[in-house]
Structure 1
């Protein structure tokens, strides 16, 4: 046979190609060296080089200026014809609204689109003082929002740093934060799994944020609770964090096709 078959009928060549493409995706526009790909995939150098040579010839991968490899724009063109990973947001709204009802504040769900976060949902709690600084269907730079910090913290350090550097061309994108201060916040998300900040995106706004888990790679969704700084002290943030994490996990379950996702309870 032209290619080896796995026990379940899988093509070994295709499986290895997918491993390499996923790893290139994790490295972002900066690309990856051959040694990085062999180390991360566990494949031999000749195997990785042979597959990369074919992917370059087929225009799915391109060489970088420093002789690395990265995904080509043809992958982006293919992605335009792929269905949204979220689909109909109406099935997610009950989860977001349930958290807003529970904490009393504004809850957001945002999705990454390149260097930006697109806000899919905004649900309101009963607390009378609200922080309406972002609307549903609004798109912000990842460095400009709490959800953006979660998304930056869930990707590789190199990819996040490239996004931050591109954003540094316009320091206004960082709001009340500095680029280095943002880097510290992103590192906190990377280590702790959540972000908490006050008066950094906008004066008078506090946010608690977590990435929505993605078992196949970096998170492409994030959730945040937004309110006034006086209401989101560190003590209260610690109290509402479990509910926020549970809602994010529930959204991940719905997107994965798990059962029980439509329930608004998180007991």
Structure 2
């Protein structure tokens, strides 16, 4: 099926967002979009002229100011102050880093976070990080909230993505089944072995409400019982208070 020019624009912007720290060069962009250099240069020139993309001195490309401004207009819509305050309370009480993830198709996107006072040496997530649903406890909590058949379809669709993390479909299915039965998810770190995640889905008051989850990421030594249970209850309390503002 032929890709439309508009679809290429969105695909490029998302690719740049995922690589915004280091930037992306023309060969990488061509490989991702499946287009020739001439087409890539033409597309990038248009986006640079509009301010949605910027070219760095090292000739790599990143999202531009206009892309940031566009997203900023919707910050209050998707992350109202009450959500930010709830994350802050959990983080300050627990001293751990807290993350809010929202479902986007077969992925989860981190849309808010609050760093804990206890330092984490390993990279965890940042706002804007995308993960296949099932990779990491916070995204797995979203799968555990879904009907079994829907979750299984997503797990099957993400099979190739899991391989990059050393995971198999069966691994995810077991975690989801366990999470569905106990009402929360507890996982080991896939990107940093010393980390663990405890996460819960935010209850949905309607079928049209956005699917979101809250997770705490901490060192394994700091998520042992009985402390894990204490942090789980803090997450569950926050999730219960947020269900009224999720739509």
Superposed CA RMSD in Å reads 2.4
Give 1:183 deviation, angstroms: 1.0
Q: 2:111 aligns with which of 120, 128, 146?
A: 120
Instruction: Write the deviation string for residues 44-96 of structure 1: whole angstroms up to 9, x where unpaired.
Output: xxxxxxxxxxxxxxxxxxxxxxxxxxxxxxxxxxxxxxx99953433310110
Give 1:231 deviation, angstroms: 1.3
Contact 1:212 1:220 in 2 (8 A): yes
Change (3 A) 1:171 1:241: closer
Structure 1 position 169 matched with structure 2 position 156: no
Paired residues, what number?
173
Greater Cα offset, 102-111 or 247-256: 247-256
Give 1:200 deviation, angstroms: 4.1
Contact 1:212 1:249 in 2 (8 A): yes
Give 1:143 deviation, angstroms: 1.9
Instruction: Write the deviation string for residues 212-259 of structure 1: whole angstroms up to 9, x where unpaired.
Output: 000213860000000111211143211211111001111113337xxx
Look up the match of 1:148: 139
Task: Give the SS at the match of 2:89.
Answer: helix
Look up the match of 2:196: 206
Q: 5+ unaligned residues in a row in structure 1: which ranges?
A: 1-82, 257-267
Normalised TM-score (structure 2): 0.64
Written as runs of structure 1 = structure 2, the 5 A alignment for 1:185-200 is 185-200=175-190
Look up the match of 2:51: none
Normalised TM-score (structure 1): 0.59
Q: 2:206 aligns with which of 180, 204, 216?
A: 216
Q: How far apart are the structure 2 equivalents of 1:142 and 1:165?
A: 11
Give 1:180 deviation, angstroms: 1.4
Q: How far apart are the structure 2 equivalents of 1:198 and 1:139?
A: 18
Contact 1:106 1:131 in 2 (8 A): no
Contact 2:136 2:189 in 1 (8 A): no
Change (3 A) 1:213 1:189: same
Q: How far apart are the structure 2 equivalents of 1:241 and 1:201?
A: 22
Q: How far apart are the structure 2 equivalents of 1:237 and 1:219?
A: 27
Change (3 A) 1:177 1:230: farther
Q: 5+ unaligned residues in a row in structure 2: which ranges?
A: 1-73
